[in-house]
Amino acid sequence: MSSINQIMSTSTSALLSSQNQISVATNNISNAGTAGYTRKTYEVTTVSSEAGVTIGSGEQQRISNDILAKSVNSQAADLGKNKVINDYMLYYDSVIGATDGPNLSKLTSDLQAAFNGLAAQPDSDMDKEQVVQSAQSLSGYINDLSRAIQSQRTEADQQIPHVVDNINDKLDNLERLNDDIALLSASGLDVTNLMDDQDRELEELSQLIGIQYFRNDQNRVTIYAEGGGLLLGSQANHLDYTAAGRLSGAETYPTDIPGITLNGTDITRKIQQGELAGLIDLRDEIFVGEQEKLDEFAARLIDETNRISNQGSAYPPPQTLTSDAGHAATDAFAGVGTLDVAVVSQSGHTQEAQAINLGGYATLGALVADLNTINGMSAGLSADGRLILSADNADNGVVLSGPGTDVNSTGAGFSDYFGFNDIFHGKDAASIGVTDRILAQPSTLPTSEFQAGSGMTAGGRALSASDSSMVAQMAGMFDADVAFGATSASAAQKNSLNDYGSALVSDAATLIADAVTDYEVSDGGYDYVKNMLSNETGVNIDEETALLTQYQNMYEANARLISMAREMYDVLLDMVN
């Protein structure tokens, strides 16, 4: 009788184990396509025998590989960063223009070609209009590119709070999973599916921000941000960030843009991986460097063009010369050199002329007073601080010439300092533009150089319609070396406007290509380790189906044994009775 009992108990225990294995295998097959699901097994963990009865018990286990899982999360962090950078760079590529299409280099060459065309016919109104049109196209492109760069910086900054919110949500989810896993584990209940959820949340968190994490013996995870800040211990610690609003080139972190904080500590510079790091890099490094180079190009274009244009005059000379705004009679004035001032007829002949030693004045007001005494012209300051020099006779114009002059130790000559004959206004990529005067009247484009000898004598020739020396200088300046300042993305250098503009375009193309490559490499690396993990821990339907058949056969065999043992019991009972 005891042998029959043993058969019954052993078969029943085996039957229950097979039943659990069938349930687990069926669940594996049904979840084979579920992201993050790991293969489960049912393992018999204890076998005991009491009073001749064999009892078996087991538990559900998950197939896992913590080392590979951490590799996946590391690759996810790299992918998260490179993907967001690549997305923004693809847009930048569409804005900056193809290397063989309309771009900074091409439009700069177009302006140089327009100056060369005007040099061949300095009295051609059509060629003057072409110069102005080319200058406007170039400055307009620079404005548009600057706006696009700042728009991308602003968009990246405005995305940061959304990513921060997602990170905080993931931390909250992981806190709840920690608590649920600990509670169920203490009760001896299955936590394998919750641990799958935990791994899935860790991977998604890694795509957002680089992390380090550890599991304790209760399967709770402790998470640290890069740099050591605790993100999740017994409870979640949230990141905090408020977007700065619309950004300009002058606004940078940390002076004008707040930091991302964890428990009140700014951790912005410590964030190196994940989507959050990519957005920070775009806002604070990549696009800042592009803006600085564009600003440097615009500043040198403005300075060099205006430096040369202020050495000459339009032909015929304009009746009125007006400076930029913001000057006052009380402004300190420290001048060096001699300024030649002439009242010149429309035919280019001098009517009145006077040489002024700029070193003899302490204030701008004193200089203006003396300029106002020159016969045939008047001088004064407008309400908005513009120095205005005007010929008294509408048939005459005012011409200035001051090679070697310097105002207030700026290195700028007198006309250049006050901007009387500027072609461009502004100081950087956002503000560069063709002056209103030249836009309205291309004929006022400075083309003729003042003849210092004959021009200072009444009746002498001061300007010539056929003089192309000024325009030739402006055409030549694009190939002459000038000093470009250092930026966060480039060293200080001497280079030509043409070469600097070409390098800016090619460097941007390289930056964009590198972003694509980095994304593709990290995407491939992520897929590779993800597949490795999936091959080891995921469900193979063919293998699982074969196991299911095996478990069903085992179940049926044990069921037959139980049936046979019952029949034997019945026979024995009949014999006893």
Residue 442 has pLDDT above 70, yes or no: yes
pLDDT at residue 53, as a whole number: 44
Name the domain boundary from 248, 272, 289.
289
| Burial zone of 482 (CB within 10 Å; 0-12 exposed, 13-18 middle, 19+ buried) | middle
Same domain, 248 and 328: no
pLDDT at residue 5, as a whole number: 64
Q: Domain for residue 466, yes or no?
A: no
What one-character DSSP code corresponds to residue 285? I
Q: Domain for residue 460, yes or no?
A: no
Q: Domain for residue 174, yes or no?
A: yes
| Burial zone of 486 (CB within 10 Å; 0-12 exposed, 13-18 middle, 19+ buried) | exposed
**Per-residue pLDDT averaged across 378-385, rounded?**
97
For the segment 332-353, what is each residue's pLDDT rounded down to a tens digit? 999 999 999 999 999 999 999 9
Question: Helices marked H in 97-190 — which ranges?
Answer: 104-120, 125-186
Same domain, 325 and 398: yes
Which 3 state secondary structure label does DSSP give 54?
A: strand
Do the Cβ atoms of 304 and 159 come closer than 8 Å?
no
Contact partners, residue 103, CB within 8 Å, separation at least 6: 96, 97, 141, 505
Q: Domain for residue 451, yes or no?
A: no
Same domain, 333 and 284: no
295 CB neighbour count, 10 Å cutoff: 23
Do the Cβ atoms of 13 and 550 come closer than 8 Å?
no
Helix axes 497-537, 66-96, angle to 10 degrees: 150
Same domain, 247 and 181: yes
Same domain, 235 and 353: no
Cα–Cα distances (Å) from 317 to 320, 358, 399, 439, 449, in that order, read 9, 23, 7, 17, 11
- Asked whether the whole model's pTM tops 0.95, one would answer no
Residue whose token pair is 């996946």: 72
Query: Out of 74-78, 172-176, 197-201, 549-553, which region has the weakest mean confidence (pLDDT)?
Result: 549-553
Q: Domain for residue 366, yes or no?
A: yes
Residue whose token pair is 């044990």: 558
Name the domain boundary from 289, 323, 354.
289
Sign of CA pseudo-dihedral 548, 60, 222, 243: positive
Same domain, 319 and 234: no
Go through 186-206 and write b for each residue having 16 or more CB atoms within 10 A of its CB, e for each that does not: eeeeebbbbbbbbbbbbbbbb
- More reliable by pLDDT, 4 or 387: 387
Contact partners, residue 140, CB within 8 Å, separation at least 6: 433
Same domain, 158 and 279: yes
Alpha-carbon distance of 474 to 308, in angstroms, equals 7
pLDDT at residue 51, as a whole number: 45
Question: Helices marked H in 430-540 — which ranges?
Answer: 436-440, 469-476, 497-537
Which 3 state secondary structure label does DSSP give 461?
A: strand
174 CB neighbour count, 10 Å cutoff: 22
* Sheet of 230-232, strand order: 211-215, 221-225, 230-232
- More reliable by pLDDT, 40 or 187: 187
For the segment 513-542, what is each residue's pLDDT rounded down to a tens digit? 999 999 999 999 999 999 999 888 877 777
Same domain, 320 and 285: no
Q: Domain for residue 478, yes or no?
A: no
pLDDT at residue 158, as a whole number: 97
Alpha-carbon distance of 415 to 314, in angstroms, equals 13
pLDDT at residue 11, as a whole number: 63
pLDDT at residue 8, as a whole number: 62
Same domain, 174 and 275: yes
Phi first, then psi: what are they for 61, rounded to 5°?
-125, 160
CATH of residue 336's domain is: 3.30.70
Do the Cβ atoms of 424 and 139 come closer than 8 Å?
yes
Q: Which amino acid type is present at position 545?
A: T
Residue whose token pair is 């919110």: 165
Do the Cβ atoms of 324 and 353 come closer than 8 Å?
no
**Per-residue pLDDT averaged across 308-329, rounded?**
94
Residue 457 has pLDDT above 80, yes or no: yes
Name the domain boundary from 398, 420, 442.
420
Cα–Cα distances (Å) from 559 to 13, 49, 316, 556, in that order, read 11, 21, 114, 5
pLDDT at residue 54, as a whole number: 47
Query: Out of 84-88, 322-326, 415-419, which region has the weakest mean confidence (pLDDT)?
Result: 322-326
Kindly state the tokens that stand for 198.
Answer: 């935990």
Q: DSSP of 399-439, one letter per residue?
A: EEE-TT-EETTSS--HHHHHTTT-SEE-SSTTT-EE-HHHH
Q: DSSP of 176-228, one letter per residue?
A: HHHHHHHHHHHTT---HHHHHHHHHHHHHHHHHS-EEEEE-TT--EEEEETTS
For the segment 158-171, what is each residue's pLDDT rounded down to a tens digit? 999 999 999 999 99
Same domain, 283 and 340: no
Which 3 state secondary structure label does DSSP give 494?
A: strand
Alpha-carbon distance of 285 to 303, in angstroms, equals 27
**Per-residue pLDDT averaged across 356-360, rounded?**
95
Q: DSSP of 10-40, one letter per residue?
A: HHHHHHHHHHHHHHHHHHHHHTTTSTT---E
Residue 368 has pLDDT above 50, yes or no: yes
Q: How confident is the model at residue 556 (pLDDT cuts 50, 70, 90)?
A: low
Domain count, the chain: 3
Whole-number mean pLDDT of the chain? Answer: 90
| Burial zone of 322 (CB within 10 Å; 0-12 exposed, 13-18 middle, 19+ buried) | middle
Q: Domain for residue 502, yes or no?
A: no
Same domain, 328 and 284: no
Paired residues of 336 in beta bridges: 406
Q: Domain for residue 503, yes or no?
A: no
pLDDT at residue 559, as a whole number: 72
For the segment 38-87, what is each residue's pLDDT rounded down to a tens digit? 776 777 765 555 444 445 567 788 888 999 999 999 999 999 999 999 99
Same domain, 253 and 346: no
- The residue segments making up the domain with residue 45 are 2-63+538-576
Residue 100 has pLDDT above 70, yes or no: no
Kindly state the tokens that stand for 316.
Answer: 């015929």
Phi first, then psi: what are they for 236, rounded to 5°?
-80, 140
The H-or-E segment that residue 322 falls in is strand 320-322
How far is C-alpha 3 from the chain's CA centre? 78
